[in-house]
Amino acid sequence: MDNGASSYRRFLDGDDQGLAEIVGEYKDGLILYLNGYVGNIFVAEELAEDTFFRLMTKRPKFAGKSSFRSWLYAIGRHVAVDYVRRRGRLRTVPLEDAEYALREEQSLEDAYIKEEQKRTVLRALASLSADYRTVLWLSFFEGFSNQEIAAAMHKSDRQIKNLLYRAKQSLRSLLEKEEFVYEDL
């Protein structure tokens, strides 16, 4: 059982510190993951809060069939899909907030991704389809195994292998157009 699962079990047993540990451990990665779905860092932060709120109020059962992190990200994905269905795919930010939003997003990304090459990859990822972007993000930046990705994205292991292969090829093609020098992609 990983740390998230033991923290969640403690929370279910009445220790509120368990939920605080989960939020501290998974918040940043979950926000960036959700940002890939909604394209707005502020909305992604709210969706991450909604995900943790769902844990707190509904207390879903963690069966242990996947890692705690992939289970949590799957819940976050459901929250994001619900949001997109309710709001449509509008990605608007008021003009007066646009500069602040860009600075806020950049500071989160800089804290999470420190090297210049990774930023170039993120720009290329942004132009990929949502499934390609998600599978690459979970694999390379979150370190998920194919089984964890399959659980988070509700796909089979074989679908994930194929999706990951095609996503790498697409990303490689985009990076080559930018004359990006990559290693082992």
Give the pLDDT band of residue 181 (cuts 50, 70, 90): low
Whole-number Å distance between alpha carbons of 133 and 126: 7
Instruction: List, in order of start, the domains of the chain with CATH numbers.
Output: 1-99 (1.10.1740.10), 113-179 (1.10.10.10)
Whole-number Å distance between alpha carbons of 103 and 100: 5
Is pLDDT above 90 for 101?
Answer: no
Closest-CA residue to 5 (of 20, 22, 30, 17)? 22
Whole-number Å distance between alpha carbons of 68 and 65: 9
Measure the CA dihedral 67/24/33/142, to 10°. Answer: -50
Q: What pLDDT, on the 0 to 100 scale, is given for residue 140? A: 83
CA angle 44–141–65, rounded 5-degree value? 85
Q: What is the mean pLDDT of the segment spanning 35-62?
A: 90
Question: What percentage of the chain carries pLDDT values higher than 70?
Answer: 77
Q: What is each CA distance from 113 to 33, 106, 157, in whole angstroms?
A: 13, 10, 28
Give the pLDDT band of residue 185 (cuts 50, 70, 90): very low
Whole-number Å distance between alpha carbons of 162 and 91: 29
Q: What pLDDT, on the 0 to 100 scale, is given for residue 73? A: 92
Chain centre distance of CA 31:
6
Measure the CA dihedral 146/20/111/30, to 10°. Answer: 40
Q: In this predicted model, what pLDDT tens digit does every residue of 149-167 receive, in sequence order?
A: 998 889 999 999 999 999 9
Neighbour tally for 20: CB within 10 Å: 13
DSSP state of 181: -
